[in-house]
Structure 1
Amino acid sequence: MSGASCAGYGVNNSAAVLVLFILLVIILMTFAI
C-alpha cells in the first residue's frame, strides 16, 4: 500500500503523512484524557 501511494503521489505523500500524524496525536490525547 505504501509503495503504491509513493508511486502514485509525489507532493501529496508528505501531506498524507502529516494527516496521519495529526490523527495519531488526536487519538493519543483522547486516550490520555
Structure 2
Amino acid sequence: MSYVAGCGTPGYGNSVGVILVLYVLLVIILATFF
C-alpha cells in the first residue's frame, strides 16, 4: 500500500516507494532462508 501511495502523490516521490518495496522483498528473502 505504501508503494501505491508513494507513486500516487507527486510530492512524496517514487524513490520512497521503490525503497520500501525493495526492503520488504529483502526481509522476505532473509526470512525464507533464515
Q: TM-score range by the shorter chain?
A: 0.5 to 0.7
Higher gyration radius (CA): 1
Instruction: Give runs of aligned pairs for residues 1-33 of structure 1, distance below 5 A.
Output: 5=7, 9=10, 11-33=12-34
Indicate the RMSD between aligned Cα atoms, in angstroms.
Answer: 2.0
Aligned to 2:4: none
Q: Which runs of 5+ in 2 are unaligned?
A: 1-6
Question: What count of residue pairs does the alignment treat as equivalent?
Answer: 29
Aligned-pair CA distance for 1:9: 2.7
Q: Which has the higher contact order (CA 8 A, sep 6+)?
A: 2
| Structure with the bigger percentage of helix | 1
AA partner of residue 27 (structure 2): I
AA partner of residue 13 (structure 1): N
